[in-house]
A and B are shown apart, each in its own frame.
Chain A
């Protein structure tokens, strides 16, 4: 289908890092089944480095592709890279998304940041809260 780039179709039909990490160090879930997409990211963290990452996604082709690409972009990278990840970087790595699908890349960014925040919270690590998006109340999911 010409709706999506070849990159999107590749990550959609052969998604990387699908699954669950048992006893993950950080878990982040964003989205809303009512809106038709939910992303859940699992992180394994060692010495501030993301040693493993998995995702589960309920959503459209671009939601699955965005999750897959986002996990690839942070796998093996320091946490600071995950915190610096932007939806724009995810969309660009996929050679672009249709305008009405850009929110999928936003969800991917938010899911990863939420998982990092969860890691900080559950491990008693102090952090600057302002670096995390307020994804509970964004326009897309409506809280």
Chain B
């Protein structure tokens, strides 16, 4: 059986998205900046896509900027807020320790330019509270940026409350909603969000396209200079087919959001219950405030890359936060941020579901994963030391 359980990495494109794209490759292939009919038809399509995105986010079309994806949107939002802050002599930014690298590395860059960055600690359940954000805000804070939902451990932050705190204190609030868009409720007005990043390929749209919502009145900074596309804020001929695919996929995801979430949450809970039966295992991320498709466990005594490779041999595509899968010597910064020791963080497994996953697939994974964990533990000297009492178990 083949099971794709790595939907937080990327998703299969939906046929709705593919069909929405095809006309813009085959017939309406004009450049939206061209004056002729072929170009203007493409420009009209862009207007429609922007309206679709805006209505689903709860904003105006002119507040939506199309980008190459979530990373670009994160970069542009953060650098824009930093420039705005600098003009008012505010050079302090509040974020969290478990953000995506698109955020963390951009903040690092600003730190080298003289900005002060406060990365809030994350609780062991993967949560950060609005009160903690409020306590970190200073007179010179120009931006708070926190993710809506964590990409590895699936914890969902209280975005509306954090937004309310920022609004009250007059600080710009950006959220990286890459894992949330299409899966969780988004209403930028009600949630007091000033800027929001999303990426199409996380909700069955195409790769290489995303969007940045920016509340009107916030002057954003270009990352790419050139033509007057995106109201002069993002040069380069628009990727019309991808944008059309994104809008169609987002509309589809939002239309079925609640039923998809309920379905995935049921499969997720079955996986969590089943994998919890493995001795010396622990769930990462909050049990309740959690993405509907996210399952993340640490298994003591084994290493994640070998776990992934053996699961791949059994047809299961999953992901891990071990150092070997990251290509560095350090395991996932997210697992370290919630207090997992290195030894444990190396043995992590993330399964991320989509509405196409089935109960049969879940049952198959619940047979295959314990087998592979047991097999690897059986050849692990660390496991033997713990079983034979020479070393303490870290996960009781």
Q: Report if A and B associate in a common complex.
A: yes
Interface residue? B293 (CB, 8 A): no
A18 and B382 contact, Cβ closer than 8 Å, known pairs A35-B323, A60-B303, A61-B306: no
| Interface check A37, CB cutoff 8 A | yes
Interface assignment of A96: CB less than 8 Å from any CB of chain B = no
CB distance from B324 to the nearest CB of A (A): 4
A94 at the interface (CB under 8 A from B): no
Please pick, from B301, B310, B313, the residue contacting A58 in the complex, using a CB distance under 8 A.
Answer: B301
Asked whether A34 lies within 8 Å of B342 as measured between CB atoms, the reply is yes
B371 CB to closest chain A CB (Å) equals 14
**Interface pair A60/B380, CB less than 8 Å apart:** no
**In the assembled complex, which residues on chain B have CB atoms less than 8 Å from the CB atom of A100?**
327
Chain B: interface residue count, which band?
20 to 34
Interfacial chain B residues near A61, Cβ < 8 Å: 305-306, 309, 324
B383 lies within 8 A of chain A by Cβ: yes
B383 engages A58 (CB within 8 Å):
yes
User: Which of the residues A39, A55, A64 comes within 8 Å of B306, measured between beta carbons?
Assistant: A64
B323, closest chain A residue (CB): A36
Q: Which residues of B contact A35 (CB under 8 A)?
A: 323, 329, 342
Residue B214 CB within 8 A of the other chain: no
Q: Mark B295-313, 1 if CB is under 8 A from A, else 0.
A: 0000001111110011011
Residues of chain A within 8 A of B304, CB atoms compared? 60
Query: Quick check: A13 and B313 within 8 Å, CB to CB?
Result: yes
- Does A78 make an interface contact (CB < 8 A)? no
18 A-B contacts (beta carbon < 8 Å): A13-B310, A33-B346, A33-B382, A36-B303, A36-B324, A36-B329, A36-B331, A38-B382, A55-B379, A56-B381, A58-B380, A60-B305, A60-B306, A61-B309, A63-B303, A64-B306, A100-B327, A140-B329
Interface residues of A (CB under 8 A from B): 1, 9, 12-13, 15, 18-20, 29, 33-40, 55-61, 63-64, 100-101, 140
Closest 4 CB pairs of A and B: A60-B324, A60-B305, A40-B381, A56-B381
By a beta-carbon cutoff of 8 Å, the part of chain B in contact with chain A is 301-306, 309-310, 312-313, 322-324, 327, 329, 331, 341-343, 346, 379-384
Q: Apart from A40-B381, A56-B380, A57-B379, list 13 A-B contacts with CB within 8 A.
A: A12-B309, A18-B379, A20-B384, A33-B342, A33-B382, A36-B324, A55-B379, A56-B381, A57-B380, A59-B303, A60-B322, A61-B306, A63-B303
